[in-house]
Structures are given as C-alpha cells and as structure tokens.
Amino acid sequence: MSNTFIVDDQDASIEYTGHWNVSGQQPDFSHTASSGSAGATMSFSFSGNFITAVGDFFAGGTCDASFSIDGASPTNVTSPATNDNQYQQTLWTSPTLNDGNHTLFYTVSSCNSSGSFVWLDYLLYNSSNASVTGATHSLTIQIRVYHILVHGIQHRERMTSEGR
C-alpha cells in the first residue's frame, strides 16, 4: 500500500527556528509560513521514501534557500522573479530515498529586497508500497490514501487503481 501524506505548514510536527510569519489567502492550502530572514530554518521528520515541498512565489524580489535530507549536502534553490503571484508551486523534490526515517531541512540563505520571502504551504511525502500476490496469478492493487494533517487533525482521502 502506498500512503501519501500532506502536512500543512502549521502542523505541530514541523519545527521552525528563526523568524517566520503565518499568513495565507486563497488558493493556499490553509495558511503559509514565510520568512525573509537569513538563517531561518524549517525541519520535518518523516518515515518514507520521497518528499516534496510546496509553496508560493510572489511578484517582487527573489530569495535563495537550501533543502537537505538527513544532513547531506544541501541543494540550493532560488525563487523565480515573477510578475504575478503563483500559488502551490513545487519548491523542491527529493530524489527517491531508502524507505525509512528521514529529516528534511529548509534554510533561508538570503532575500534580495525587504519585501521578499520564502513561502511554504505544505509538505507531501510517500510511505512504502505494497502488493498482493496470489498462488496462480498476480494482482497488484495500489491504494493511495492521502492523509491531510491540519492543526494536528487528520483527514483521509482514498483513491484506488488496479492492475492485473
């Protein structure tokens, strides 16, 4: 079974250090956390094999930040300079990881103007897959269960696909 978890930026399992703001507007998922302060960090521990960070890009300046998993060398990212606000954009996606416990780190390096921020809306991660094998034939059923955590309350959505 494959489980996909969506973790809102305001969930208690996400740890923030440094200066972060909470705001949000439609079409954000709940709220967003933002920071323009160099050295501000977000960390999140999870058990799985893949994670992606989703956030917003706003018109104006740009920010440099980095992502790393389990203390490995960070991947530097720069928010694009845009003329229009762009919501629910992929900020960073991990490579496929060994299934197990990991910690994601997101660190603000610098922003080029006082009105520039990095914006985190939510995290999305996968747990391990499973398949069922019969004696004479094989049937694989993938069930994606989306667990959405908002302020510590879990909501579930199910999607099923079958292959023979």
The 10s digit of each residue's pLDDT in 36-64 is 888 999 999 999 999 999 988 877 778 89
* pLDDT over 50 at 10, yes or no: yes
Sheet holding 14-17, edge to edge: 14-17, 41-48, 100-111, 63-69, 75-78
112 vs 153 pLDDT, higher one = 112
pLDDT score recorded for residue 25? 64
What's at 17, amino acid-wise?
T
Task: Please give the residue that has the higher pLDDT: either 35 or 149.
Answer: 35
Domains delineated in the chain: 2-128 (2.60.120.260)
pLDDT tens-digit map of 88-116: 889 999 999 999 999 999 999 998 876 67
